[in-house]
């Protein structure tokens, strides 16, 4: 695929390959890894606008960043424009350059409360949320699905609304809420949405190789791609796409993530994050069988480190 910088107002993203926001994974250490690999942008996982008023430890952890993160992007989940505006203008988001509004989360609790993908059926509210967020003066992006049901797509109409409300960027997950995370993405809907707007569009869903990324760009005409689960399995995808040379084995990468996470987060968080990331990195890897269970049973970080070294002992040097 053609790699190019993406201009968003005063900010230029170094590349048009972007890491998707993912709950449980896109903490500060993982975002730094993606940046190093060449990703142009990485978002925090979704943070509830409602919960931000508490400024508690959990939210501060989710929104932790440092000046080393070049472009800082936080994702907000909310359904009430006033609450979202307060969160966007509040102290916890003060250091962020960009706020992404989650309009795609399919989970029943989120949907029932009128947030996430429920907004695909409530354009006036979605528009009010974007306008409210825009009052923070930050760059605003919106991540949404093609519709609630696959046979009632709204992607183009929704994209137009986002642009009119002032969004600077949109990311479209080419699946409907009813498809959850499975099935081939409907690239035609992303193509229609791209043709309907002039702001940059990122295409997301089912990209599992550099060839898939090129295919998605070609089919949709999108300005860039956003990669989710496959980037957890193979974070090197960003280096493969951008041509960046990264010499770091999977085990070295995991141990580095563990060290970085330990510097900023408490041990339960680090254990949970490293176990989950290791599970993805071990997918389809020779010699790693049985280690996932052992890692979930182990008691602490030292033991986890030993297991990581053992699981990847057959790893070929890069
Ligand atoms: C474990 C997991 C956590 C996710 N968390 C978020 C999230 O916090 N915010 C969001 O907008 N999407 C979230 N998503 C959706 C992804 O960002 C992405 O849109 C989806 O996985 C499709 O891309 P993929 O096929 O490349 O994985 C999550 C997906 C998974 C599997």
Mean pLDDT by runs of 10 across the 318 residues of the chain is: 96 98 98 98 97 88 96 98 97 97 98 98 98 98 98 98 98 98 97 98 98 98 98 98 94 97 96 97 91 95 97 78
298 domain residue, yes or no: yes
Residue 42 and residue 105 in one domain: yes
pLDDT value for 182: 96
Q: Which of 242, 270, 292 is the last residue of a domain?
A: 242
131 lies in a domain? Answer: yes
Q: Between helices 123-134 and 155-165, what is the axis angle to 10°?
A: 30
Closest C-alpha residue for ligand 1 atom 14 = 22
* Alpha carbons 116 and 311: distance in angstroms, whole number: 38
**Residue carrying structure tokens 């306008």:** 131
Of 242, 277, 296, which marks where a domain is finished?
242
- What's the number of domains the chain is made of? 2
Domain span at 162: 6-242
Cα(180) to centroid of ligand 1, in Å?
10
Confidence (pLDDT) at 286: 86
Shared domain for 154 and 276, answered yes or no, is: no
Residue 20 sits in a domain of what CATH number?
A: 3.20.20.70
224 in ligand 1 pocket by Cβ < 6 Å? no
Q: Which atom of ligand 1 is nearest to the CA of 104?
A: 11
Active site residue 89: no
Pocket probe mutation, ligand 1, options 18, 19, 20, 43, max atoms within 8 Å of Cβ: 20
Which one of 27, 34, 42, 105 is the catalytic residue? 105
CA torsion angle for 200, 41, 145, 130 (degrees, to 10)? -70
In this structure, the answer to whether residues 38 and 73 fall within a common structural domain is yes
204 C-alpha to ligand 1 centroid (Å): 9
| Domain shared by 219 and 290, yes or no | no
Tell me, yes or no, whether 289 and 197 share the same domain. Answer: no
Closest ligand 1 atom to residue 22 Cα is: 5
**Which of 191, 224, 242 delimits the end of a domain?**
242
Residue 136 and residue 17 share a domain: yes
Give the per-residue pLDDT at 54: 84
Note whether 223 and 261 are same-domain residues. no
> Which pLDDT belongs to residue 287?
86
Instruction: Please tell me whether residues 179 and 204 are part of one structural domain.
Output: yes
In a domain, 94, yes or no: yes
């Amino acid at each position: 695929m053609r790699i190019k910088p993406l201009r968003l107002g005063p900010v230029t993203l170094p590349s048009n390959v972007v890491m998707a926001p993912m709950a449980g994974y896109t903490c500060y250490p993982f975002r730094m890894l993606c940046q190093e690999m060449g990703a142009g942008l990485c978002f925090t996982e979704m943070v509830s606008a409602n919960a931000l008023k508490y400024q508690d430890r959990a939210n501060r952890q989710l929104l932790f960043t440092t000046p080393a993160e070049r472009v800082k992007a936080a994702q907000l989940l909310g359904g009430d424009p006033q609450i979202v505006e307060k969160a966007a203008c509040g102290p916890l988001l003060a250091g962020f350059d960009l706020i992404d509004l989650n309009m795609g989360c399919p989970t029943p609790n989120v949907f029932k409360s009128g947030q996430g993908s429920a907004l695909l059926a409530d354009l006036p509210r979605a528009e009010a949320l974007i306008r409210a967020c825009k009052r923070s003066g930050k760059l605003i992006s919106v991540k949404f699905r093609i519709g609630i049901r696959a046979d009632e797509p709204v992607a183009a109409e929704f994209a137009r609304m986002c642009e009119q409300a002032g969004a600077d960027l949109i990311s479209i997950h080419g699946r409907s809420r009813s498809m959850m995370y499975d099935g081939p993405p409907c690239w035609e809907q992303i193509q229609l949405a791209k043709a309907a707007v002039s702001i940059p569009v990122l295409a997301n869903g089912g990209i599992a190789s550099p060839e898939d990324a090129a295919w998605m760009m070609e089919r949709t005409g999108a300005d860039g791609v956003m990669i989710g689960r496959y980037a957890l399995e193979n974070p090197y995808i960003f280096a493969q796409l951008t041509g960046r040379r990264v010499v770091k084995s999977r085990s070295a990468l995991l141990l580095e993530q563990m060290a970085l996470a330990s510097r900023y987060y408490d041990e339960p968080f680090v254990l949970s994050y490293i176990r989950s990331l290791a599970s993805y990195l071990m997918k389809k890897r020779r010699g790693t069988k049985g280690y996932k269970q052992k890692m979930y049973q182990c008691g602490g970080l030292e033991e986890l480190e030993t297991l990581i070294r053992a699981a990847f002992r057959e790893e070929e040097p890069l």
